Structure 1
């Protein structure tokens, strides 16, 4: 996948019994770490970040990819222009799956607090990623993780 807000795959190789995947470096860490260190984002900064996430998720969904683990831990900071302008990239597609329009997924996966209710019913679609974006916004604005299902 090629999108400015998705970490780019560069190459992979095998060395003996080990397989390595080389990805684009985002050395500024995750949004989760950033919020823990600096506190909640301003409304303006959170909106700036959320627009980038929405753009990446729309692209993924058009490509038939359901991320299934969107959380602040999987939003990497690629550049900080100012406290109000933080560029981000989505990462960690280890739980992602391909899903055609009209199909549903059934495996319960994700990060607690960011998992959509329909995932627990084991029948969900792209709307589960949309719910997770709400959890990301919650964390960026409050500095706390969203409540988890009991």
Structure 2
């Protein structure tokens, strides 16, 4: 397994199923800044909070020239339900094969109910219009995170 992508690396051209009956790749967004956030699971409290924060700031991100994409291992149907329930205005990528998760190195061993499992460590990446990763946040705490990403975007 290669080293995880980090600041200065080029975002991979991995095509994934997405909401809105689409298949999307980060390469589809060349020419725009992309905020890519990885989250563990649809409809869990932390992930719902984080998605609502990005939703609340969506217009500001768009006005600053950025596209927001969320990504988890959940299926497209789960993503569609999650989007509909919380009026999430941006697309969610389904990484059931963990290709994008592995490329960015966001899968980590966690302990749930005393068992060791592999899960997504909440992480966000700011990718410039040329496809270069400009900033990364790992081990994200939800409170204030979307605001911090917006500030970093405005500083680009």
TM-score between the two structures when normalised by the length of structure 1: 0.27
Work out which of the two has the higher radius of gyration on C-alpha atoms and give 1 or 2: 1
More strand by share: 2
